[in-house]
Chains A and B, each alone.
Chain A
Amino acid sequence: MAAVEGRRRMNRREWMACGLAAAACTRRRPQAWRRKEPVFVLKAESYERELASEIRRAVQATGIAVRGKTVLLKPNLVEFSRATAINTHPVFVAAVMEALLSLGAADVRIGEGPGHRRDTWTLAEEAGYFAAISRFEDRFIDLNRDEVDRVGELGEWGPLWAPRSLLDADLIVSLPKLKTHHWAGATLSMKNLFGTVPGSLYGWPKNVLHHHGIDASIVKLAEIWAPKTVAIVDGIVGMEGNGPIQGKPRKAGVIVAGANLPAVDATCCRLMGIDPGRVNFLAMSQHLGPADAAWIEQRGERPETLRQDFELMPMWAHLRAPKG
């Protein structure tokens, strides 16, 4: 049963998708970066304090432009358990939405395509999204069941389709949870893009991404979306150990923001006591952005002062960054 190639002529959105991919390729800078990528680190002790103004400050500090743009927030909504902290906190999502609207975003919507649970709406309700986010029903798009357009190829797995809402958005904001991950080492703004792959075509779980190689798939999706994607990471309470689902909550008390996904993810790794240079998907995505601290302009708090060594599974012990 080989995958069947699409035979239609490309439409406007597909041309747009090709443009995105081409833009990503032209950004290839394997070694030498021309300028440092700014990443803002902010202390945030809890979800109860006023978050929107702080997030607004982070967005402004990293030069992320939102005025007049249609924005799609992509939280990390995976499964729900009262016992741990799996998902991007709904209060955090609401605060980002408020911050971006206050900065002049024309419209802010929220989209996610969970990889395990079929019933996205019920999952969102269980996870508290309806209660925390005003007009959530009107704002939310189930990316697993959106209209789709072809955006590229996934190696031997053939065409890669993506939700049209992502292609239509001017700006995507990846809102991951700060977590370790049992197959990738860490799951951050780039791994969060797995939720952009439509389950209606690829299933629950989106198994082709695993067969293609988790690291390779992370990079592939980042290549497609990075040109119009920024990241704001919920690191107030993260997850350590056997993430992304069965790990333990870890209060890290940080928010991380930036326009360059590898730079943001590398900073998050440093905050978790992980050496980003040892994380495969970061090593493979150097054409998209730097992991090397020398090419990241740290704004706000210094990551080394807020470092907390997240528990790593034995198979990932080699990722631990040396002290000092």
Chain B
Amino acid sequence: MGGSNPGAVDLLLARQNADGGFGFRAGQSSWLEPTAWAALALHGRPEMDRAMAWLGPMQLAGGAWPASPNAQRESWATSLAILLKCLRGEFDASWRKAVAWLISGEARRIPDPSWLERLLHREDAVVQDRSLRGWPWTPGAAGWIEPTVHAIRALDHSRPRYGGAALAEKIEMGERMILDRQCRDGGWNYGNKRVLGEDLDSFPECTALGLIGLCRRRGPQVERGIACALGHWSRAPRGLAQALLRVAFRMHGVAFADRPVEVSGRTDTTVLALALIGEPEGAWRQWKGGAA
């Protein structure tokens, strides 16, 4: 770990709070998302054990984790907690409850346009296959790319031990949802490819996420996604986009001109951790799982 960016490890380790968790920035209280990314980046190190020790007791009765002890609401980042438990072989009651919560947590279906709306407009305001709901940021809301990607990776890791057809069906639905939301340029944004008759552009970080969600898939759409991601890479993205694109390229075995993510004491913990996860020997392999 650290590879071409050893300073990032020290920066990350210095962020760990006394309770074992991490905030989004130095000195902030512990939150689920940065703690989960840091734990993945520190996979195999004792600091990961400390992070997991903070995370464990936070689980809510319904199986999900809250985003922060100060905001007791089920968080999309529960998927990251499930992933971590899988990587540690913790297939316990807590894991089973969390997976059950995630499986039951399909996004809201956006109502189809009425016959009148169809008559008045040539196409829907938001063009998408509404049957492919994906996962939401907030329970009960519509589905978007990023929470769907994290749910797929968590369920994919859980599949061998959880059993049942529902889980495989959910993964399939999630992957199809990502494919359906692919932008015209081949990449992804947060989840709207066409709105009010206009095509929307992809974002580099979301394009990377789309590819991470499809890391077990091959085919023309994935190839278009990779081509788009390489286009984003050629424009020298920084920060989160750069960190996620490196992960996506490695998961898909794409050759690219790598360069380390520039980090500093002000870098968001999420970016810091993902910069390490995307190193050649980083935890991207564990995130992908299987024969990475």
Contact = CB atoms under 8 A, between A and B. Distances in A.
B140 A157 contact: yes
Given A142-B24, A200-B31, A121 B268 contact: yes
Contact of A3 (B73, B200, B237, B241): B73
Interface in A187-210: 200-208
Contact of B137 (A3, A117, A150, A202): A202
B131 interface: no
Given A3-B74, A7-B72, A145-B24, A203 B33 contact: no
B159 to A, nearest CB: 21
Interface in B58-86: 60, 62, 64, 66-68, 70-76
B104 interface: yes
Contacts of B190: 116, 204-205
Given A1-B105, A145-B25, A203 B137 contact: yes
A118 interface: yes
B267 to A, nearest CB: 8
B196 interface: yes
Interface string A138-161: 000010010111100000011101
A137 B203 CA distance: 24
Contacts of B205: 117-119
Contacts of B29: 147
Size class of the contact patch on chain B: 35 or more
Nearest to B60: A4
A6 B72 contact: yes
B187 interface: no
A166 B67 CA distance: 20
Given A2-B140, A119-B240, A145-B24, A204 B72 contact: no
Interface residues of A, number: 40
B101 interface: yes
Given A1-B104, A122-B241, A147-B70, A201 B196 contact: no
Contact of A1 (B25, B139, B203): B139
A208 B266 CA distance: 30
B156 interface: no
Contacts of A121: 239, 266, 268
Contacts of B76: 203
Contacts of B66: 4
B278 interface: no
The B contact surface, by secondary structure, is loop
A242 B62 CA distance: 42
A211 interface: yes
A116 B74 contact: no
Contact of B142 (A8, A137, A207): A207
Contact of B141 (A8, A148, A204, A207): A207
A3 B71 contact: no
A211 B141 contact: yes
Interface in B106-151: 108, 136-142, 144, 146-147
A117 B146 CA distance: 12
B74 A145 contact: no
Nearest to B196: A182
A204 B191 CA distance: 10
A280 interface: no
B238 A3 contact: no
Interface in A1-27: 1-8
A4 B268 contact: no
Contact of A200 (B33, B64, B147, B189): B33
A119 B73 contact: no
Contacts of B138: 3, 157, 201-203, 207-208
A246 interface: yes
B179 interface: no
B96 to A, nearest CB: 16
A200 B141 contact: no
A119 B241 contact: yes
A313 interface: yes
Given A121-B266, A122-B238, A204-B137, A6 B71 contact: yes
Contacts of A8: 72
Contacts of A148: 68, 70-71
Nearest to A122: B239
Contacts of B189: 116
Contacts of A125: 238
Interface string B173-193: 000000000000000011000
Interface of B: 24-25, 28-29, 31, 33, 60, 62, 64, 66-68, 70-76, 101, 104-105, 108, 136-142, 144, 146-147, 189-190, 195-196, 198, 200, 203, 205, 237-241, 266, 268, 271
Interface of A: 1-8, 116-119, 121-122, 125, 137, 142, 145, 147-150, 157-159, 161, 182, 200-208, 211, 242, 246, 313
* Smallest CB-CB A-B distances: 10 pairs: A203-B137, A1-B139, A119-B240, A145-B24, A122-B239, A207-B141, A1-B105, A119-B239, A6-B72, A208-B138
Given A1-B101, A122-B237, A159-B71, 13 more contacts: A1-B140, A119-B241, A121-B239, A121-B268, A122-B238, A122-B239, A147-B28, A149-B70, A201-B68, A203-B141, A204-B137, A207-B138, A313-B196
21 contacts: A1-B101, A1-B139, A3-B74, A3-B138, A4-B62, A4-B73, A116-B189, A116-B190, A119-B271, A122-B237, A122-B240, A122-B241, A125-B238, A182-B195, A201-B68, A203-B144, A204-B137, A204-B144, A205-B144, A211-B141, A242-B196
